[in-house]
Amino acid sequence: MTDSAPLQPGTLYLVGTPIGNLEDITLRALRVLKSADVIAAEDTRHTGKLLHHFQITTPQISYHDHNAQQRIPQLVARLQQGEAIALVTDAGMPGISDPGYELVCACVTHELTVVPIPGPSAVVTAIAAAGLPSDRFVFEGFLPVKGKSRQERLDALKREPRTVVLYESPHRLVKTLTDLGEVLSTERKITLARELTKRYEEFWRGTIGEALVHYETVVPKGEFTVVIAPTPQTSPALSETEIVVELQNLIAQGLSRSEASRQLAQSTALSKREIYQLSLEIDIYSVLQDKSADDFPLD
């Protein structure tokens, strides 16, 4: 059933647009784009190509990260005056990892109507074909680029019982795979989806370690949607006291604090960094002395 009724005055329409293949646009999306008073676009040049392809002449206004705070009051005012505004991002659904969220919040605050026009989504497209559990998943967007915030986010993912979906750019992919391997384990299953819906669409499936080897020799190209298998739930969680005992045993075997922490991180819910902090409580000299006493008992 189709709805060809005129657009509602004073309404913000969130219009999903193709993530690569123009054939994925919906008839409803085309109708809204044609009928709106104005289209608020992340990149007017990019959206202009889409509009030109479908012979849509609706005027555009830019709305992106760098001008959102200036544009939001202007767009809210136009909505209050009765205009129907279509919001689009460069690809996919507005409001997902873009400033559309802030405009929606402003509309909610001013009791303005927001109508979503569903369309393609890289998140759903990737997880549907990833071959990993899709009954429960969490979307992480882009990880922080560096620093404490990045490490904290990675540590949180180590304990995540749901499948994880995140975005990554080609020039940061190897770094992210390296960090994921160190924190989550190189044996964790992963699917890397790139160029979704486009001519060179590709799904790479394997472990994090195998992905790292692959993309250290094959230059990553295109934007990636990364799907990571959930944290294995088969092993019972160790208490901090039990972890310290395990650390003492590994150190007694000759492993350094760092090596012992890395090994334990593969089989516990704590990250290498968290386990290393616990290892600082251990007096290595005493542990090695006890080990020597066991090896050479006094009669």
What is the mean predicted confidence (pLDDT) over 241-269? 83
pLDDT at 250: 86
Give percent of the chain above pLDDT 90: 70
SS3 60: strand
The torsion angles phi and psi of 111, rounded to 5 degrees, stand at 55, 40
Q: Give the integer Cα–Cα distance in Å for 49 and 258.
A: 53
Range scoring the smallest mean pLDDT among 73-77, 86-90, 133-137, 251-255: 251-255
Largest CA distance in the chain: 96
How far apart (Å, rounded) are the C-alpha atoms in residues 41 and 94?
10
Q: What is the DSSP string of 121-163?
A: -HHHHHHHHS-S--SSEEEEEEPPSSHHHHHHHHHHHHT--SE
pLDDT at 23: 95
- Residue 252 has what pLDDT? 85
**Could you confirm whether domain 123-228 is CATH 3.30.950.10?**
yes
pLDDT, tens only, 123-133 = 999 999 999 99
CATH number at 11-120: 3.40.1010.10
Q: How many CB atoms lie within 10 A of CB 218?
A: 9
Q: What is the pLDDT of residues 259-292, one digit of tens each?
A: 888 888 776 767 788 888 888 887 765 655 655 5
Which residue has better confidence, 295 or 137? 137
Render pLDDT for 6-47 as a digit per residue (tens, 0 to 9).
Answer: 899 999 999 999 999 999 999 999 999 999 999 999 999 999
User: Which helix (DSSP H) or strand (DSSP E) does residue 25 occupy?
Assistant: none
DSSP state of 92: B
Q: Write the single-letter amino acid at 280.
A: L
Enumerate the domain spans of the chain. 11-120, 123-228, 240-294
Residue type at position 43: D
Q: What's the whole-number mean pLDDT along residues 224-242?
A: 80
Categorise residue 286: left if φ over 0, alpha if ψ from -120 to 50, beta otherwise: alpha
d(CA 229, CA 179): 15
Most confident listed range (200-209, 229-238, 272-281)? 200-209
| Confidence band of 296 (pLDDT split at 50, 70, 90) | very low
